[in-house]
Amino acid sequence: MIVEPDELVAVVTRLTGTAPRGWKSEVLYEPIASATAGIRRVWGDAWSVVVKVVHDSDRGHPQWLSGSEMGHWAYWRREVHAYEDGLTDSLGGRLRGPRCLGIFERADGAVALWLEDAAEDGVAGTSWGLERYEEAAEHLGQAQGTFIGRVPDRPWLAKGWLRSYLGERSGDVALLGQAEPWREPLVQAHLGRHRAEPLRRMWADQGAFLETLDGLPQTVCHNDLHPANLFAVGRETVLIDWAFVGVGAIGEDAAVLVADSVLDFHVEPERFEELFEKVWRAYAAGMADAGWPDAEEVVRKAMDATLGARYGWIGPAMLRAVTAGRTTMNRRPIAEAVAWWGQTVPLLLDHAGAARERRG
């Protein structure tokens, strides 16, 4: 059961001073990652909260299976530790996590996180204009700038998260060297055989891009900074879903915000570079506020390297979806999704090329 009535009574009483007289709930998310048992919004008269239940499970999408060891990239209890430790309340600037209203250990070994419903008073990142992305990037730069040189020493923080994540995404890369996928009409129309070698090289250079990121200032990274995890609440930016929080380079999350906003269909591909420019400069301005002036070049270096390293799987994933005869990709009709991603791939390749040039 996702909603336990005893927990709900305790949380709402703590929040409002009185026990709820009744309540309703709705599913917010159908789990893909095996660590998430379920997420629901629960509401009543003049209150609304979110409950997220996490557990150690081997059921779920094969690329998103959780781990029971703290060092695992998808360690199932990491988000619980982040709230218990107060990390999400100590980000600095105007970026914060949702308020944690209660943590409950359940008899079956699961843990229930009762959290502020950021959507109640906020606007989700999935409906933002570019200017609000820009503001969020500044808040992110402020927060991550404060952690440079003082990243908390916590065993549950993910280390080398991006390398581990990419290890789960390597299965389709062999398709780049096969002739058949490139004969598919959708692939010919929206990707083109001439992309095979640049995509292969992008994947082959993944290690070099990761080395670039290793050599940059390290901070606390969210590692899943896509628009559905962001809410504008007044002048603050609230960031949810801390399951992958760990140590990474400055600029990594900023690059993910740009790419995932486009790849998840919230910003049109033709606005990719405009969004990149806004996020890059705003993030660097936020870092300056945190005491790191003149950071634009190093942030640009980090963002290019992140795009080069993290998104080498996009082209192969398109080939797999088309050759497998799927009717949808990323929850969109396959023709629409391939056309959209096909416009994005050249932009990712350009940024990978920029990162390669900087390495000489």
| CATH number of the domain to which 267 belongs | 3.90.1200.10
Q: Are residues 111 and 129 in the same domain?
A: no
Q: Is the pLDDT of residue 171 over 90?
A: no
Read off the pLDDT of each residue in 43-49 and give the average, rounded to a whole number: 95
Q: Are residues 105 and 186 in the same domain?
A: no
Q: Which of 82, 99, 116 is a domain's end point? A: 116
pLDDT of residue 27: 95
* DSSP designation for 104: E
In sequence order, which residues have a C-beta less than 8 Å from that of residue 310 and are 6 or more positions away?
Answer: 162, 165, 166, 255, 256, 259
| CATH number of the domain within which 90 lies | 3.30.200.20
Provide DSSP, 63-94: GG--BSSTTSTTBTTHHHHHHHHTGGG---TT
Q: Is the pLDDT of residue 31 over 90?
A: no
Q: Are residues 108 and 127 in the same domain?
A: no
Q: Which of 116, 143, 174 is a domain's end point? A: 116
pLDDT of residue 95: 97
List the one residue out of 301, 262, 306, 258 whose CA is nearest residue 278: 258
Q: Are residues 58 and 160 in the same domain?
A: no
**What's the pLDDT tens digit per position in 273-315?**
999 999 999 999 999 999 999 999 999 999 999 999 999 999 9
Phi, psi of 158 (to 5 degrees): -65, 135
pLDDT of residue 47: 96
Q: Are residues 38 and 80 in the same domain?
A: yes
The neighbouring-strand residues paired with 95 are 237
Residue 282 and residue 29: Cα distance in Å, rounded? 31
Written as six digits, the tokens of 276 are 């990149």
**Average pLDDT over the chain, rounded to an integer:** 95
- Count: domains in the chain: 2
* DSSP designation for 304: H
Provide DSSP, 312-328: TTHHHHHHHHHHTT-SE
**What's the pLDDT tens digit per position in 317-353?**
999 999 999 999 999 999 999 999 999 999 999 999 9
Q: Are residues 282 and 329 in the same domain?
A: yes
Half-sphere exposure of 281 (CA within 13 A, CB side): 7
Quick check: 356 and 210 in contact, CB under 8 A?
no
Q: Are residues 76 and 160 in the same domain?
A: no
pLDDT of residue 170: 84
Residue 272 and residue 349: Cα distance in Å, rounded? 13
Look up the domain containing 75 and give its range. 5-116
Q: Are residues 99 and 133 in the same domain?
A: no
Read off the pLDDT of each residue in 157-184 and give the average, rounded to a whole number: 94
Q: Are residues 242 and 306 in the same domain?
A: yes
Q: Is the pLDDT of residue 60 over 80?
A: no
Dihedral of alpha carbons 223, 169, 112, 1, sign? positive
Q: Are residues 228 and 330 in the same domain?
A: yes
Q: Is the pLDDT of residue 63 over 80?
A: no
pLDDT of residue 360: 65
Q: Are residues 74 and 211 in the same domain?
A: no
Phi, psi of 179 (to 5 degrees): -75, -40
Q: From edge to edge, which strands make up the β-sheet containing 36-44?
A: 24-29, 36-44, 47-54, 111-116, 100-105
Q: Which of 116, 138, 153 is a domain's end point? A: 116
Q: Are residues 146 and 242 in the same domain?
A: yes
